[in-house]
């Protein structure tokens, strides 16, 4: 079975500081990995996805994530936090054998001015 673990349900950073949101996955076959963002009272929006091409994936709004197979991780980073980054972030995993997407429990990012 596939699963996703997001470490830290709440993360606070100062405006301009590095954002690091952690995601570890479990999958018996090569995974597809995604990061989504959800703003209040809205649906989820895709930030970036990994589909076995480059291990460093660049997404929208300055976010990027690195796939590390040895660590089974797919952490999301952004060099400098902006107030508009305050939202909830979800990591998700899928693979061709299960053909089902599994989401993590989410991490709420607070940006302090």
Partner 1 sequence: KAGVTQTPRYLIKTRGQQVTLSCSPISGHRSVSWYQQTPGQGLQFLFEYFSETQRNKGNFPGRFSGRQFSNSRSEMNVSTLELGDSALYLCASSLVPAHNEQFFGPGTRLTVL
For the record, the structure tokens of 2 come out as 């596939």
Tell me if 49 contacts partner 1 by CB under 8 A. Answer: yes
Strands (E) in the chain, as ranges, are 3-7, 10-14, 19-26, 32-38, 44-50, 56-58, 64-68, 73-78, 87-94, 102-103, 107-112
Task: Name which of 25 and 90 has its Cβ closer to partner 1.
Answer: 90
One of 17, 32, 59, 62 touching partner 1 (CB under 8 A):
32
- To partner 1, the closest distance from the beta carbon of 18 in angstroms equals 25
Q: Does 40 bind partner 1 (CB under 8 A)?
A: no
Sign of the CA dihedral with 38 first, then 1, 10, and 14 last:
negative
Contact region with partner 1 (CB under 8 A), list: 19-27, 28-36, 67-75, 79-87: 28-36
């Amino acid at each position: 079975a596939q699963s996703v673990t997001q470490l830290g349900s709440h993360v606070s950073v100062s405006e301009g500081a590095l954002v690091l949101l952690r995601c570890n996955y479990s999958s018996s076959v090569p995974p597809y990995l995604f990061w989504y963002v959800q703003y209040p009272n809205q649906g989820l929006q895709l930030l970036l996805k990994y589909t076995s091409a480059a291990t460093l994936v660049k997404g929208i709004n300055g976010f990027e994530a690195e796939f590390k197979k040895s660590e089974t991780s797919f952490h999301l980073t952004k060099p400098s936090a902006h107030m508009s980054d305050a939202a909830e972030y979800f990591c998700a995993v899928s693979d061709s054998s299960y053909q089902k997407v599994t989401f993590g429990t989410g991490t709420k990012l607070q940006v302090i001015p």
